Amino acid sequence: MYQWQMIATDEEFEFVESDMPEIDKEEVLVEVAGCGLCHTDLSFWHYGVQTKHELPLTLGHEISGRVVKGPEHLLQKNVIIPAVLPCGECDLCKTGRSNICQNQIMPGNDFHGGFASHVKVPFKYLCPVPDEVLKKYSLAQLAVVADAISTPYQVIEKSELTSGDFAIVVGVGGIGIYGALIAKIKGAKVLAIDISDDKLSNAKEYGIDATINSSVLDFKEIKTRIRELAKELGTSKYGWKIFEFSGTKSGQELAFGLLTFASTLSIVGFTLDKLEVRLSNLMAFDAKLIGTWGCQPELYPEVVDLIKSDQLHIDHFVELFPMSKINEVIKDTLAHKFTKRSVLIPDFNSTN
Amino acid sequence: MYQWQMIATDEEFEFVESDMPEIDKEEVLVEVAGCGLCHTDLSFWHYGVQTKHELPLTLGHEISGRVVKGPEHLLQKNVIIPAVLPCGECDLCKTGRSNICQNQIMPGNDFHGGFASHVKVPFKYLCPVPDEVLKKYSLAQLAVVADAISTPYQVIEKSELTSGDFAIVVGVGGIGIYGALIAKIKGAKVLAIDISDDKLSNAKEYGIDATINSSVLDFKEIKTRIRELAKELGTSKYGWKIFEFSGTKSGQELAFGLLTFASTLSIVGFTLDKLEVRLSNLMAFDAKLIGTWGCQPELYPEVVDLIKSDQLHIDHFVELFPMSKINEVIKDTLAHKFTKRSVLIPDFNSTN
C-alpha cells in the first residue's frame, strides 16, 4: 500500500510504499476513496500539536472508502470511517457520550490515517453508505461526512435547536457552513458571520437567511445589526443559539459577547488562545456554553439520511484534489486559499 | 405597615411607617414571617448594583409569611414568595424558562420587599406551605426556600446530576451548603471546597462526603487531592458535576480549572470580575457550562417536599434575628461574620 506520511513539523509529506497490513478479527482494510484535509491536520503538521502515535505518521481522519479485506458481510461495502472510534464498552460510551470515550482511537492520530491508498481500522462503528446516496455523490465527496458534517450535526443536536430558533453561526468555513445548513434544515432562521465575503456569499446562495461580515463593523454595530435581523426575520430577542466554528480568539470573543437571555453558545472551533470573559454573565443570562468533541458514530446514519433525502447538498462545499498534490494543498489551506473543504483522492497508480 | 428602607449606598436602613397598601385583583397582602438577607441585598446596598425601583426601597426577596388580604381562598394561608415572579404568559415562561422571564418582577428590587411587616405581591406563583412542614420548622425559617434553597435546587436539576455522580461544590456558604446537601440527597458523592474551616466542618457534620480547604493548597495540589477523592469515594474520573457558588474570581478560576472530560460546571455565584480562560477546553473536554438565574416558581413545591419528607434539614443553616437589628446584621454579613443564612423576623410592635 501507499501512504503520504508526516515526518516532522512543516516538512513535506513523504511518499511511503509498504506491504498490505495484516488485520485482526475486529478490523477491516479499507481502500480509501477520499480523505478530507481538516484544521486538525494543520494543528499536527504546522501548529505543534502532538499526534498520539509517534512520527512518521500518515495523517487524515475524514475518510470514505470500500472494504477490501475483513469479514465476509462487510466485503465490498462502501463506508465512512468515523473520525472518532470509541470502545463502546466504557461508562461514557454507555451513557451516550461515546464521542468523548477515553479509549477512543482516531485515524491519523492514534494510527495511520487516510492520506493513503488503504487504511486498517476496527469495523465496529463503520457507517455504511447506501447505494442511493452514491447516485448523488461520489464516495470521495462523502468523506466530509466523517468530520466536517458530523461534528456540526452533533453540536446542533446538543444545542437543542428547534424550529423557529435564531441560529448565529460564527465562521462558515469548511465545517461551519454545514453547521449553518443543518440549522436551516432544522427550521432555524440562520445568520452567518465571517470575515470572508466569498464564504458569506456562498452561504447566502445556499439558503442562509442573513450574513454579516464582521471585519468591517465594530462589536456594537454587529450587535445592533443582529437585533435588527432577529426582528426582520421574525424570530426571538432571546434564546439565541450561537455556534463558534472559527476557532479564533476574535471569533470566540464575538460569540461570547452575543450571549443574551436563555442563549446557548456552542464552542466547536479550537484555539489555544485564552480570552477574558465575565463568566457570571452566564448566570445573569441563564445561558449555557457547550463544548463538543467530534461526533458519536451512532449519529452518522442520521447525517447520511440528511444527504440521502436531499435535505443537505454537499457538492458545492467540497473540492477534490489528487492526493499526490497533498504538499501543495496543505500549504494553500494554511494560507487560507480555499473557501471549500479539500478532499484528497488517492492517485498512486497514476502518479507514483 | 412598617418597613426598613434603603436610602442610599452604605447608609443605615431607615424605619418607615405607612398606611396599609391597596391591592388589586391579582395581588395579596402578606404579613411577613421572615425575610432572608442575601448576597444580592449586599450588591444593592454596598456593591453599587442598582435596584430597578428607585430609592428609597425596601429590600429583601427571600420571604415567607401569611396572606392577610386578598381572595377568599388564599386568606390565612402560609406561603413562600418566590424571589422571581414571572409573567407566566411569554415565550420564555411557556418553554420552561420562567426563571428568566423578561417581564419578571422581584421583591426588594422591582417593588418594596420583605424587610417589612407586610408585602404586597401578585399571588399567581405563591408557594403554599403545608401544615405538616410547620410542625418541623417555623414559617420564618422557611423563608430560605425562596432563594437559598430553590436556586441550588434548580441548578442541580439543570446539571442533570444523577445518583453516583461526583459533585464538587465550590463555596458552601448560605446558598452553596444547600447545593451540597441537595446533591447528596440526589445520590451524588459530594466534595465541598471552601476557604472557611467552620463552613467545611458544618458541611462534613451534615453528611457531605469530603472537604477541601482551598486556601491552604495550590491548584495542582487541589486537583491531585480531588482525583484521589474520586477514587476513594468510588466515583468516576470523568463527568464531574462542578458547582460554583462562591461568586468570586478565585472560586471561578478554580472551578473552571477542574473541568475534565464530560464535566458540567454550573455558575451560580455572581461577580463582576472577569477571568482569563481557554474556552476551547470545553470543546476538548466535551464539557458544559451552565449559568442559572433564580428558580422557576413551578419548582418550589418540589423543594418544599424535600423538607416535608425530612430529606433536607434546614435549621442548622439558618440563624434568626429580630428585624430591628437589620443595620447590624447587614454590616456583619458584609464582614463575613456569619456561617449561616440570616433571616430577619419582623419585631415592629415590640421595638418600634
Average per-residue pLDDT for chain A:
95
Taking the CB of residue A138, how many other CB atoms lie within 10 A of it? 16
The alpha-carbon gap from B275 to the nearest alpha carbon of chain A, in Å, equals 5
Cell of B240: 464531574
Give me the residue from A276, A289, A293 closest to B275, CB to CB.
Answer: A276
Residue A152 near residue A176 (C-beta atoms within 8 A): yes
Cα angle B42, B45, B48; round to 5:
95
Where would I find the beta strands (DSSP E) of B183-270? 189-194, 210-213, 241-244, 264-267
Cell 465512512, residue located? A80
Cell 464582521, residue located? A214
CA distance B32 to B110: 18
Interface of A with B in 146-185 (CB under 8 A): none
Query: What number is the average pLDDT over the span A191-213?
Result: 96
Per-residue pLDDT tens digits for A169-201: 999 988 999 999 999 999 999 999 999 999 999
> In the prediction, which pLDDT does A70 show?
97
The alpha-carbon gap from B27 to the nearest alpha carbon of chain A, in Å, equals 27
Stretches in chain B below the pLDDT threshold 70: 350-352
Cross-chain Cβ contact A283/B292 below 8 Å:
yes
Residue A216 burial (10 A CB sphere; 0-12, 13-18, 19+) = exposed
Per-residue pLDDT tens digits for B199-226: 999 999 999 999 999 999 999 999 999 9
Cell 458571520, residue located? A193
CA distance B251 to B245: 8
Cell 480547604, residue located? B213
**AA letter at B261:** F
Q: Which chain A residue is nearest to residue B276, measuring alpha carbons?
A: A276
> In the prediction, which pLDDT does A350 show?
59
Interface of B with A in 238-267 (CB under 8 A): 238-239, 244, 247, 252, 256, 261-262, 267
pLDDT of residue A351 exceeding 60, the answer is: no
Chosen for mutation from B106, B279, B281, B289 (greatest number of chain A CBs closer than 10 Å) is: B279
Cross-chain Cβ contact B252/A286 below 8 Å:
no
* Local structure of residue B125 (DSSP, 8 states): T
CA distance A221 to A202: 23
CA B116 to chain centre: 20
Q: Which residues of B touch A289 (CB under 8 A)?
A: 279, 282, 288-290
pLDDT of residue A352 exceeding 50, the answer is: no
Q: Which residues of A touch B286 (CB under 8 A)?
A: 97, 99-100, 291-293
Taking the CB of residue B109, how many other CB atoms lie within 10 A of it? 23
Which CA distances in Å does B182 have to A215, B139, B313?
47, 21, 10
Interface of B with A in 2-41 (CB under 8 A): none
Taking the CB of residue B223, how many other CB atoms lie within 10 A of it? 15
Contacts made by residues A15-22, CB under 8 angstroms, sequence distance 24+? A15/A352, A16/A56, A16/A58, A17/A352, A20/A69, A20/A118, A21/A118, A21/A120
Cross-chain Cβ contact B102/A291 below 8 Å:
no
Cross-chain Cβ contact A283/B289 below 8 Å:
no
Give me the residue from A267, A275, A280 closest to B283, CB to CB.
Answer: A267
Cross-chain Cβ contact B279/A289 below 8 Å:
yes
Q: Which residues pair with B34 in a beta bridge?
A: B64
Taking the CB of residue B293, how many other CB atoms lie within 10 A of it? 24
Cell of A254: 464575538
Chosen for mutation from A252, A259, A278, A279 (greatest number of chain B CBs closer than 10 Å) is: A279
DSSP-derived 3-state class of residue B183 = helix
> In the prediction, which pLDDT does A174 show?
85
Q: Which chain B residue is nearest to residue A268, measuring alpha carbons?
A: B283
The alpha-carbon gap from A83 to the nearest alpha carbon of chain B, in Å, equals 14
ipTM more than 0.95? no
Q: Which residues of B touch A282 (CB under 8 A)?
A: 267, 289-291
Q: Which residues of A touch B97 (CB under 8 A)?
A: 239, 262, 286
Q: Which residues of B touch A239 (CB under 8 A)?
A: 91-92, 95, 97
Q: What is the residue-wise DSSP string for A64-125?
A: EEEEEES-GGGTT-EEEE-SSB--S-SHHHHTT-GGG-TT-B-BTTTB--SSBSEEEEE-TT
Q: What are phi and psi of B202, to 5 degrees?
A: -55, -50
CA distance A290 to B252: 17
- Chain A contact present for B289, CB below 8 A: yes
Cross-chain Cβ contact B238/A91 below 8 Å:
yes
The CA-based diameter of chain A, rounded to the nearest angstrom, is 62
- Please count the residues of chain B: 352
Cross-chain Cβ contact A287/B291 below 8 Å:
yes
Query: What number is the average pLDDT over the span A242-259?
Result: 97
Per-residue pLDDT tens digits for B248-265: 999 999 999 999 999 999
Q: State percent of chain A over pLDDT 90.
A: 94
- Chain A contact present for B273, CB below 8 A: yes
**AA letter at B140:** A
Q: What is the residue-wise DSSP string for A246-298?
A: S-SHHHHHHHHHT--TT-EEEE-S--S--EEE-THHHHHHT-EEEE--S--GG
Phi-psi sector, A286: left (phi>0), alpha (psi -120 to 50), beta: left
pTM of the prediction? 0.93
Q: Which residues pair with A105 in a beta bridge?
A: A85
Number of CB pairs < 8 Å for A and B?
142
Which CA distances in Å does A265 have to A258, A260, A348, A349, B173?
9, 10, 43, 46, 30
> In the prediction, which pLDDT does A349 show?
75
- Chain A contact present for B135, CB below 8 A: no
pLDDT of residue A227 exceeding 60, the answer is: yes
CA distance A3 to A39: 20
Taking the CB of residue B328, how many other CB atoms lie within 10 A of it? 12
- Chain B contact present for A99, CB below 8 A: yes
Cross-chain Cβ contact A92/B290 below 8 Å:
no
The alpha-carbon gap from A92 to the nearest alpha carbon of chain B, in Å, equals 8
Chosen for mutation from A280, A289, A293 (greatest number of chain B CBs closer than 10 Å) is: A280
> In the prediction, which pLDDT does B163 show?
96
Whether cis (ω within 30° of 0) applies to the bond prior to B130 is: no
Q: Which chain A residue is nearest to residue B277, measuring alpha carbons?
A: A274
